[in-house]
Amino acid sequence: MNYLKLFALVSLIILSSFSKPHEEKLIWLSWDEGYQKAVKNKKILLVDTYTEWCGWCKRMDRDTYTNAEVIKKINDYFIPVKFNPEIKNVVYKLDDQSLTPQQLYSQLSRGESTGYPTVYYIFTNKKSVFIDAGYKAPADFLKILDMAIEESKK
């Protein structure tokens, strides 16, 4: 019987050595949860603005937001939020305001049409926003994340 237990233990150790290592992933928050968390933790709020019909948004989800370096950097320095301004019957909180998705989008974009995808970097400690419109491959996106991190330190 002891040999059977030993065999089971050795088998378990060998099989576990073939499993994938723990991979980090992005946990996208809602606007209300993410905004409050960014303010509380004094982190940059990264708002990925998308629509369901946007092909470039889907490509950025597939190519950029699955990149291990991008995931690590976002998890270390940012609070990530997904925001679809075309969703109906939702109210978002921004400090003491209650906003529709279209009103929030207008505030983020400063009334300009930026297209999709657009990433808004909100520096909650400064009450300022950096806008980056369009699809970004992982290497280009990492450069922008680095710029946002440096800006937050000023």
* Residue of 112 and 28 predicted with greater confidence: 28
Q: Could you give all domains of the chain from N- to C-terminal order, each with its CATH number?
A: 28-153 (3.40.30.10)
Residue 15: pLDDT above 80? Answer: no
Mean pLDDT of the chain: 87
Q: pLDDT-based confidence at 149, cuts 50/70/90? A: very high
Q: pLDDT-based confidence at 30, cuts 50/70/90? A: very high
3-state SS string over the chain?
CHHHHHHHHHHHHHHHHCCCCCCCCCCCECHHHHHHHHHHHCCEEEEEECCCCCHHHHHHHHHCCCCHHHHHHHHHHEEEEEECCCCCCCCEEECCEEECHHHHHHHHHCCCCCCCCEEEEEECCCCEEEEEECCCCHHHHHHHHHHHHHHHHC
